[in-house]
Amino acid sequence: MIAKLQCVVLDCPDVRTLARFYQAVLGGEVNRPDPRWAVGDGFATLHTDAGLVFAFQRVEDYRAPQWPDAAHPQQFHLDLDVPDLDRAQGEVLALGATLLRADPRGWRVLADPAGHPFCLLRG
């Protein structure tokens, strides 16, 4: 092993909004004290219940991905296992997600409030 993943950092226009969105989806604590990061208006963290850490970094003139438009690529996406696709979709939509595609093979592609794609998969 060469490295250990410290966190996944997502660019966005509003760090608190996106941190709270993912907190509602994944659980965890927003801006838990951690000597590795200084949080504020331009940077927030989410320590998930699963032990993963996400960070959210404010970017001026942020350009959201436009899935599946290659001119505005998604850059990465998250796959999230859920026990009930319909219920999970309704919950994330209520939190501010946008449905991009209900794949006929059995998963849903959505975008978070900053436009980052993520998939809900039957887990």
Determine the Cα–Cα distance for residues 117 and 81; give it in Å rounded to an integer.
15
With respect to residue 68, please indicate whether it lies within any of the assigned structural domains.
no
Residues 43 and 84 occupy one common structural domain: no
What would the pLDDT profile of 16-45 be if each residue is shown by its tens digit?
999 999 999 999 999 999 988 889 999 999
Q: Are both 53 and 92 inside the same structural domain?
A: no
Domain annotation covers residue 50: yes
- The pTM of the full predicted model, rounded to 2 decimals, is 0.84
Within a domain: 52: yes
> Are 53 and 14 part of one and the same domain?
yes
- Round to whole Å and give the CA distance between 105 and 122: 11
Residue 71: inside a domain: no
Q: What's the domain count of the chain?
A: 2
Residue 2 lies in a domain: no
DSSP label of 63: -
Considering the domain architecture, whether residues 54 and 95 belong to the same structural domain is answered as no
**Average pLDDT, stretch 8-19?**
95
The owner of tokens 């595609």 is 101
> Has residue 63 been placed in a domain?
no
Question: Is residue 50 within 8 Å of 121, Cβ to Cβ?
Answer: no
Q: Tell me the residue range of the domain where 35 lies.
A: 8-58
Provide the pLDDT for residue 71: 84
* 64-75 per-position pLDDT tens digit: 888 888 888 777
CATH number for 111: 3.10.180.10
Q: 1 in a domain, yes or no?
A: no
pLDDT for 4? 82
Average pLDDT of the segment spanning 78-91: 92
Does residue 87 sit within a domain?
Answer: yes
